[in-house]
Amino acid sequence: MFLWKLMHDAVPVRSVFARVLRVATPPCEICGNGTDDPVHALFMCPKAEQCWLTSSIGLRVHALPVQARLIVRMLSQHLTEPDFMKFANHMWAFWKARCKEVYEGAKINVRQVNSTAHSYTFIANLTDTVRTSLPRSTREQYETVHHISMEGNTCKMDGSYHSQGQAGWAYTLYLGQQILEYGLNSGTAASPLHAESLAMLQSLRAAIARGWDTATFLTDCQVLTAVIKGSLAADTVDWKAYTTILQVINIFKQHQGFVCCYVPRASLLDEHHLANRARIFSLNTLGYSFPSFPPI
């Protein structure tokens, strides 16, 4: 959608507002020089130029055309599909950082823009439909998992995330088919993976509080499962969730009887709804024993 707006000269910068109001275009809100149009704001501004030069594709902006739609067209033709995805994600990350400086006064951090763009690309490559970043053996393992037998101690969990940072997460503890307790919590998270990590951390603490030595933890987050199992290095995932993921990994290392398994979302519908409910209504209910779920 952002690329479409860029190609149609609809990115909300000062030149667009000036065109509607029929006034002269003010200078760039970041550097104070140059006309604040989409090409300058996203590519030619010194801060943008620095971000592009240090990006994963090392783009040199002075070699680009002077019109935004021509830039997008040229790059779509000359970049590979993975590199074009990196370009789009980097541009979106820079735009979000620029908006924060303009409207909130938070200065653009080049390193943070690059890290955020990398996170966007990494997560996009690990969705249910695109799993090219995972080793083939790992992908095949996930694709063959359809059902986990509910025997012994089992914990299901899920996280819910909103783009503004609001998050909710929930878990349920089972002994066989019998539900023992559920819990849900709300707060802030930096990314969807962070919300899933918080759900896993909460469920692990609940299992430990019950004195469990062995348990199977079910999640629909492939990235988190891969990191816990060692298929992916923890320092290669979303840096915003890194601290929480390290806590999760340490608990699994300390409790050898704990096992993490991936299951499709259809197996976690109750937890999914509970997590959404916790996020929307800011609910916090931990360790609540109940014979069945409350109305969702």
Q: Are 92 and 119 in contact (CB under 8 A)?
A: no
Q: Which of 63, 125, 62, 53 is nearest to 90 (CA)?
A: 53
Q: What mean pLDDT value characterizes the chain?
A: 83
Instruction: Please name the residue that has the structure tokens 């987050």.
Output: 221
Length in residues, the chain: 296
Which are the contacts of 22, defined by CB distance < 8 A and separation ≥ 6?
none
In DSSP terms, 218 is beta-bridged to 156, 261
Q: Helices (DSSP H) in the chain: which residue ranges? A: 2-7, 14-21, 38-39, 46-53, 68-78, 81-104, 110-124, 136-143, 192-209, 222-229, 242-254, 269-281
pLDDT in tens, 203-246: 999 999 999 999 999 999 988 999 999 888 877 777 778 889 99
Cα-Cα-Cα-Cα dihedral sign, residues 209, 276, 187, 236:
positive
Cα(266)–Cα(283) distance, rounded to whole angstroms? 23
Q: What is the pLDDT of residues 142-196, one digit of tens each?
A: 444 445 566 789 999 999 998 778 999 999 999 988 888 888 899 999 889 999 9
Task: Tell me the pTM.
Answer: 0.52
Q: What does the pLDDT average to over 72-83?
A: 87
Report residue 260 as tokens: 């993490």
Helix (H) or strand (E) holding 7: helix 2-7
Is the model's pLDDT at 137 over the cut of 80?
no
Dist CA 88 CA 7 (whole Å): 13
Residue 171, phi-psi category: left (phi > 0), alpha (psi -120 to 50), beta (remainder)? beta
Asked if residue 261 lies in contact with residue 148, where contact means CB atoms within 8 angstroms, the answer is yes
Q: Where are the domains of the chain?
A: 2-124, 142-288
pLDDT for the residue 149: 60
Please determine, looking at this structure, whether the domain spanning 142-288 carries the CATH number 3.30.420.10.
yes
Phi, psi of 197 (to 5 degrees): -65, -40
pLDDT in tens, 234-280: 777 777 788 899 999 999 999 999 999 999 888 898 898 889 888 98
Report which of residues 111 and 132 the model is more confident about: 111
Angstrom distances, CA of residue 152 to CA of 5, 201, 209, 214: 53, 20, 17, 8
The answer to whether the CB of 271 falls within 8 A of the CB of 290 is: no
